[in-house]
Structures are given as C-alpha cells and as structure tokens.
Amino acid sequence: MWTNFCKPWFFCCLLAALTIVLLVLNVNQLEHLDHESVLATVIDSSGQDTSPQASGISRKSYCGYEHQTLSKRERLEENSLLAFFQSHEPHTDLVPFVKSTDPSSSYFVILNSGTFFKVGSQLEILVQVQDFQGRPKKYGGDYLQARIHSPKLQAGAVGRVVDYQNGFYKVFFTLLWPGKVTVSIVLVHPSEAIQVLQHLQEVRPDRVYFKSLFRSGRISETTICNVCLPGNLPVCNFTDLYTGEPWFCFQPKKLPCSSRINHYKGGYLKGLLTATESAFFQSDVNIKMPIRSSGPDWVTVIPLGVKEANDPEPSQSMENFPSGYYYKNQWRPRKFKMHQFNEPDNITECLQGKMIYLFGDSTIRQWFDYLITFVPDLVEFNLGSPKNVGPYLAVDLKHNILLQYRCHGPPIRFTTVLSNELHYVANELNRIVGGRSTVVAIAIWSHFSTFPLEVYIRRLRNIRRAVVRLLDRSPKTVVVIRTANVQELGPEVSLFNSDWFSFQLDTILRKMFSGVGVYLVDAWEMTLAHYLPHKLHPDVVIVKNQIDMFLSFVCPAKT
C-alpha cells in the first residue's frame, strides 16, 4: 500500500520540478526580449517565402526607420527627396503585357538633324514608346538611359532624359568632341516594371535576408537578421548607440544576444512576382534593350576655331551636364583639369605623407585593390581578414603612406563579417582627427537597393553629420564620395539591384551632399558613358579613371 502511494507522489514531484525548470528558462528568454516587437518571416532552405504575407494574410510591418525622430529641417528635406521620386511614378493601373512598352517597336528621331553642329552644340532627341501591339503609349514612367559615342575615338557621354508623361520623351546631349557621333537610347525597364519595383521597395524590404551566428561553448544557433523584421518573435536589438542605425536579429532559443559571432548574407527570396509581373522582366525582350532610330542615328560635329580636332577642350560656358565625357578612353571632367597618374611614382608622389581611409562597399574596395596592385611600394599588411571583406591595410614605410579599407555597417551582403568588425562609417569618421595629411573616400549605395528610401536617407544623414564635424575641426581634410554606378541586369538581379534603384540612391546622395564641401567621383556617368558592358564592379580601365579623378582632388593642379 505504501509503495502504491509513493508512485503517484513521486511523479507529481517530478512534474513540479520540470515545471519550475521550464519557468526559469522562459523567464531567462523574457529578460532578453526587446521592447520592440517585430513580425516573423519563415524562409525555407530554398529561399522561398512562406510568411503570412506571401499567403495573402494582411500584416502590420515594422521597420526601424518608421520610428525616427527628425528635426523640422530634416523632415522637410526627407519629404522633398521622397516627393522628387513620387513625381516620377508610373501609370497606376497594371496593364496586360501586350500593352506594356515594347522597345523593338518604339523609336527615336533626331529633332535638329538639319542643324550645323559644332563642339558645344545641343542635340535634341525625341523618343516615342509603343506597346507590343504597335500602339503609341499615352503615359510615361519608362526608365531610359541615353548616351552618345564615337567608337573610333573611344569617346562617350551621357544625355539627360525628360519624361513628358504621355509616351514621349526628350533627350538632350551636349556635343563635346568633333567627328561622327552616334546616339544610343536604351529601355532599362518599362513603366510597368518600374511600378512592380516600387511596390517591392515599399513592402518587401526583406527580399534580401541576412543571418548571424550565435555561439557559446559548444552551443551555436543561426537566426535571421535585418533592418526590418516581420513577426512577433523575440528579437535581439543591435541598434547602434551613437548613430541610432537600427539592426535586429531574431533571438536564439538557447543563447543570449551577446553571443553573436558574425554577420553574413543569408540569400535572396524567390517567388516574389506573379506570372503577370514576371512578363515585365525578360532578358532580350524588355530589360536594357536598345530603341531603334527612325532615320539617321548619328550627326557630324566640327571642331571649334583652330583647335586641333583630335584634342578638343570643353567649353566652361556650357551647362554643367554632363559632368564629363570620355575621349581616347580618358575621362575629362568639365569643371577642372584631371591629371593622368599613369606611373606608380606619380601616385606615390601625390600620396606621400598621407593617411587614406576608404569606407564603404566593394565598389570602393576596388580602389584599394587597384592601388596595391599598381603601386609596388604599397605593401599590404596581412590582418587575417576574410577575403573580399576586410578590413585591409597597406603601408609604404619609405614614403610614409597608410592606406586602409573598411566595409560599412549593416545592411551589407558580404559572405562573413565578424561582429566586432561591423563598424558604421559615421562612427569611424568621428574617430579621425583629420588635417592636411588625411584623405577620406566613401562609397555606400549598392547594399541599400532593396530598402525603402528612408533607410538610405537616414544612413546618409548620419554620415553627413560626421563629415561636417570632420571638416569643421579639420578643414584641410579631403573628403571624396564615389557615386553609384550602372550594372548588368537580368530578370532576377533587377528585383534586387536594378539601375532604377541605384538611380534613386545616386540622386539622393548628390542632393544630400550638395554644398557640404566634399568632392564627387561621378562613377554613374563614368560607367554609363563608357563603351564597355555594364558591371557592378567596372573593368580596370574605368577604375583607373576613377582613381585619376580621386587623386586629382587630393593633389590638384598648381596654378
């Protein structure tokens, strides 16, 4: 009898003990629960989105940028930037594919073809877009890119496109060199595709997802991270204390938030488009396709005065667009005379006694790679950093040169970045003393293409504050910003890194840093105007021209 009584008593005690243990574990998790709540997304191994939104269930999104506290001036600036792109929004109703823009049936004509052209003349082009039924479109919103070029002269320049919102576009070129000049107009995306891209930008900022590894002893866990996390699961709040830049990871089930080891790109979501929407993103159909000319697509330009036809000089009285042009494969800015740093000794002489800090994405890491490859005296110091991630350091002890590269803070789509190497550019700038011997170059754009524009505006606002403080305490510091550039596009890449996204970021960057006292290397025009195929990481001839322009700011011509 006593034995029969003990058995249920024993099981009751065991059950109570297990309950207490589970309660302690739950309390421990609650201690790490951030006061912010987010919405959960579930991503399977294939990258397919299985979140409630993908199933058509409505949800309330969360994003750190939605909780910014802005001054009146900052709010006005942000509203102005956003309004600029709202005025360029395409037709609101999604139409069938056959009624979308067909580049093969669209055409352009040279309006002033009978004009006598000299170097400095204006060339006007009229573009009419038509659909796949051969009918003229009655609304705008298509994204066009335009350039003039002379292949034999290795010359090229970009044009300015004006959308009249009725299916007609005008393109304006400034003719900057003599000879036969050919016009090229390309449809990057039809307006129907732009509408889809804008929708993705606003409601699917999680279409590129990131991960972090958490480890303590033998226990390790991996969770998804982002600026915007959907769901109601516990999160780790890694918002930067100094800049307020938001970053969150789903909290590990067994480990504390402090056990985060690294950050890396998780992947790209699939199944983002419907069949109807996918038709607007077809290679060799409507992505970066040329628009034909109805009539001649070229003009002849004669040189000015007695200047040699093979060595034209730009007129300073002309409008400051474009910012420059290629001639004999060399970039020629229109505002100043750019040097050619064709020998390693030229670069060494310019950088002697200087500390050069390169901050940003892989497009400015190309500058580091170019310099240590081209200048033998710049010897890379092995920091044991992951390949293509950094940080990197190179020194020339003989000439007292220090060259450093560091990637910007998240979001960044690199393979693996250690947590303690996730540095925000603004914080790095605040640590620099500055002065005549200090040079800073920044490129930050590509990894922000999937987010609402407010995320990028916030990041640039923080960097701009730090730049202003740096120039205030050390006015002789040289600060250079490399702009965005065009790249190759396909159906999938367009959803994440379209030139349309990059164009928006590039426009915002130029507006926000106007009048700040920094120099711009116009990588956008330097890649769009060149004859080589578009690449995220431009070929070495283009990088060489970027470096020449950068060094011309560091070591300007003595007058």
Q: Please identify which residue in the block is written with the tokens 């199933």.
A: 55
The 8-class DSSP code of residue 49 comes to B
Distance CA 175, CA 164 (A): 23
- For the chain, the structural domain boundaries read 97-190+283-302, 208-268, 330-554
Cβ proximity of 226 and 264 under 8 Å: no
Residue 39: predicted pLDDT: 32
Distance CA 99, CA 200 (A): 22
Residues 191-213, buried b or exposed e (16+ Cβ, 10 A)?
bbbbbbbbebbeebbbbbbbbbb
At residue 552's C-alpha, the angle toward residues 367 and 160, to 5°, is: 85
Residue 65: predicted pLDDT: 61
Q: Please identify which residue in the block is written with the tokens 């915002």.
A: 508
Residue 60: predicted pLDDT: 38
Low-confidence ranges of the chain (pLDDT < 50): 1-7, 12, 20-62, 306-311, 313-318
Cβ proximity of 323 and 157 under 8 Å: no
Residue 333: predicted pLDDT: 97
Q: What is the pTM of this model?
A: 0.86
Residue 113: predicted pLDDT: 79
Distance CA 284, CA 307 (A): 43
CATH 3.40.50.150 is held by the domain 97-190+283-302: no
Q: Please identify which residue in the block is written with the tokens 């579930």.
A: 42
Nearest to 366 by CA among 121, 180, 167, 544: 544
Residue 50: predicted pLDDT: 37
Nearest to 351 by CA among 74, 551, 150: 551
Concatenate the DSSP letters of all residues of 474-513 into one string. Answer: -TT-EEEEE--------TTTHHHH-HHHHHHHHHHHHHHT
Residue 260: predicted pLDDT: 98
Residue 557: predicted pLDDT: 81
Distance CA 460, CA 150 (A): 37
The 8-class DSSP code of residue 8 comes to H
What CATH number belongs to 330-554?
3.40.50.1110
